[in-house]
Amino acid sequence: MPQQTPVSDPTPVFDPTPVSDPVMDRITAAVAAGRDGDRAGARAALEREWEAVARADDALHRFTLAHYLADLMDHPAEELVWDVRALDAVEALTGERAARYHHSLRPAGFRASLHLNLADALRRLGAFAAAADHLDRARIGLDDLGDDAYGRMIRSACVGVGEAIARRSTQPRERAPHD
């Protein structure tokens, strides 16, 4: 009987851990400090990182920094500026660049969250029509999310923001750690 040559599996094997990226490591450390209560220190560290990243023009870094800086702002108008920067950066982010950092990242998967954040900031500023428009865009992007904890969190937050818009509430809402 002739010996068969094994056929190699063309499916790439992905390492579930992100590649080494010193910028992302510094962002992660600053975000952790903010979640541990050092919001001012985290904001200062991320703003310093932004100065370097903005010149380097890496859309993944710009998106990640802007997204987390928005969460550290004290006023919804400041948050809105960073949310717009995050959305602008994700529009420039290629799937190839995102996957180079981690195989699970897809730019389309971020849009629902970003539009949700814009809707919430606009709502808190009293711009309810603009908030409703971004909430509609967030809902359109929900199909790009998985049926996992993150997807469920964003879907739930869409409901909460929608209810707050309907009530014409400008009050901050209870937030999940990453929405």
CA 176, 146, 85, 54 torsion: positive or negative? positive
CB-based contact 112:145 (threshold 8 Å):
yes
**Structural domain contains residue 177:** no
Residue 6 has pLDDT above 50, yes or no: no
User: Does 36 share its domain with 89?
Assistant: yes
Summarize pLDDT for 101-143 with one digit per residue, the tens. Answer: 887 888 888 999 999 999 999 999 999 999 999 999 999 999 9
Task: Tell me the C-alpha distance between 3 and 147, whole Å.
Answer: 45
Place of tokens 């002739």: 2
User: Does 89 share its domain with 119?
Assistant: no
User: Does 115 share its domain with 59?
Assistant: no
User: Does 34 share its domain with 53?
Assistant: yes
Task: Tell me the C-alpha distance between 162 and 139, whole Å.
Answer: 10
Place of tokens 């100065």: 51
Q: Which residue has the higher pLDDT, 63 or 1?
A: 63
User: Does 149 share its domain with 82?
Assistant: no
Summarize pLDDT for 150-178 with one digit per residue, the tens. Answer: 999 999 999 999 999 999 999 998 764 44
Domain span holding position 152? 107-171
**Structural domain contains residue 118:** yes
User: Does 94 share its domain with 38?
Assistant: yes
User: Does 37 share its domain with 94?
Assistant: yes
Task: Tell me the C-alpha distance between 38 and 41, whole Å.
Answer: 5
User: Does 91 share its domain with 52?
Assistant: yes
**Structural domain contains residue 5:** no
Summarize pLDDT for 19-49 with one digit per residue, the tens. Answer: 688 999 999 999 999 999 999 999 999 999 9
Amino acid letter for position 24:
M
Tell which residue, 106, 69, 113, has the closest CA to residue 87. Answer: 113
* Both structure tokens of 105: 């990242």
User: Does 101 share its domain with 116?
Assistant: no
Strands (E), the chain: none
At residue 126, φ and ψ (nearest 5 deg) are 85, 10
User: Does 51 share its domain with 117?
Assistant: no
Task: Tell me the C-alpha distance between 151 and 174, whole Å.
Answer: 18
Q: Quote the pLDDT of residue 20.
A: 83
CB-based contact 47:69 (threshold 8 Å):
yes
